[in-house]
Amino acid sequence: MMKPWNVRIGINPISWSNDDLPSLGGETPLETALSEGAEIGFEGFELGGKFPSDPQALKAKLAEYGVACVSGWYSGRLAEGTLADELVNCVAHMTKLQVQGCKVVVYGEVAGSVQGQIDTPLSKRPHFTSDALWKGYAQRLNAFGAHLKSTYGITLAYHHHMGAYVQSPEDVDRLMAETDASVGLLFDTGHAYFGGAADPLVLLKKHLKRIVHVHCKDVRADVVTTARNRHWAFLQGVINGTFTVPGDGAIDFDAILSTLNGAGYEGWLVVEAEQDPAVAPSYQYAKKGYDTLRGIVDRINAQHAKVA
């Protein structure tokens, strides 16, 4: 009998409260997200702006609800900044994650990014304009990733993201080609699709060996098409429903999870879907995302059990 698939299902609090757009659930207390998430069955949470910043206070708050700290977004600036500055800037965040026992950090490149600018279309996002710029960035990322591993025991999980330097499938390909194993890939299904991957599974298969963390985000394909045609800003797309939870959109999560399982991925599957809770009620949609992933994982494990 094959062993059960060693993955855990977590969630990002953005389903309840959006840090970039406080108008989307900004009034919802952290405790609501934690209690509802735990009730649904999620084993852990990624961090958001409402969580305690003190490591011990954070640990105590999560323990109240019996959930783990999955990871936390780190706003990196290595695309335009120095490694020396990043090593100093990261201390508080990495120490906090280390105290929680986190294995990965979500590295989001915010230098030059337009992801938080509601009036700036995605076409205005930054690009590396030469091989030298790409290579310099990769070298800084490699060194930063190696530092995080040796100092904190944490793996850098690079989040390709709309509006940032690394958005398209071609950007992800280049990033993985230029960096080494010190830089892991956070594969985000929704950003892969919106970023230009007609089938995120193709991009996933290319980089399976580098994937260290997974965000499970579905898309409303028609809204993504409108966002592209009308040259919307990233947050305009969010407000209008580009993203949703697994099981509510166009992405084949059976294929995504089966491929991850076949490749030996072990880690977190994180439901993350930036939506307006007034339109997509937090509990209802979080539960749909959980039930979708849980059902697929259970089916995979049932198949394992049948194999002698």
Encode pLDDT of 176-193 as tens digits.
999 999 999 999 999 999
Q: Alpha carbon 3 to chain centroid distance?
A: 27
How confident is the model at residue 25, as a pLDDT?
Answer: 66
In order of 11, 72, 77, the CA distances from 54 in angstroms are: 21, 14, 23
Look at 13-22, 251-260, 268-277 and tell me which has the smallest mean pLDDT.
13-22
| Token code pair at residue 199 | 């089938």
Average pLDDT over residues 141-146: 98
Residue 58 pLDDT level (bands cut at 50, 70, 90) = very high
Average pLDDT over residues 270-295: 93
Mean of the per-residue pLDDT values for the chain?
A: 95
| Token code pair at residue 277 | 């809770």
Asked if residue 277 has pLDDT above 90, the reply is: no
| CATH architecture of the domain with residue range 7-306 | Alpha-Beta Barrel (3.20)
Q: Is the pTM of this model over 0.95?
A: yes
Q: Considering the chain, what percentage of its residues have pLDDT values greater than 90?
A: 89
Dist CA 255 CA 270 (whole Å)? 16
Query: Shortest CA distance to 241 belongs to which of 192, 283, 190?
Result: 190
Angle at 255 between CA 182 and CA 164, to 5 degrees: 45
Average pLDDT over residues 200-215: 98
How confident is the model at residue 1, as a pLDDT?
Answer: 56
Q: Considering the chain, what percentage of its residues have pLDDT values greater than 70?
A: 98
How confident is the model at residue 308, as a pLDDT?
Answer: 55
Non-local CB neighbours of 156 within 8 Å, separated by 6+ positions? 104, 105, 107, 141, 144, 145, 148, 149, 182, 183, 184
Average pLDDT over residues 66-89: 98
Dist CA 68 CA 52 (whole Å)? 14
Average pLDDT over residues 241-268: 97
pLDDT digits (tens, 9 = 90+) for 10-42: 999 988 877 777 666 678 899 999 999 999 999
Average pLDDT over residues 246-258: 98
Residue 274 pLDDT level (bands cut at 50, 70, 90) = confident
Asked if residue 307 has pLDDT above 80, the reply is: no
Determine contact, residues 146/136, Cβ cutoff 8 Å: no
Average pLDDT over residues 210-226: 98
Look at 3-12, 18-27, 138-147, 229-238 and tell me which has the smallest mean pLDDT.
18-27
pLDDT digits (tens, 9 = 90+) for 147-161: 999 999 999 999 999
How confident is the model at residue 236, as a pLDDT?
Answer: 95
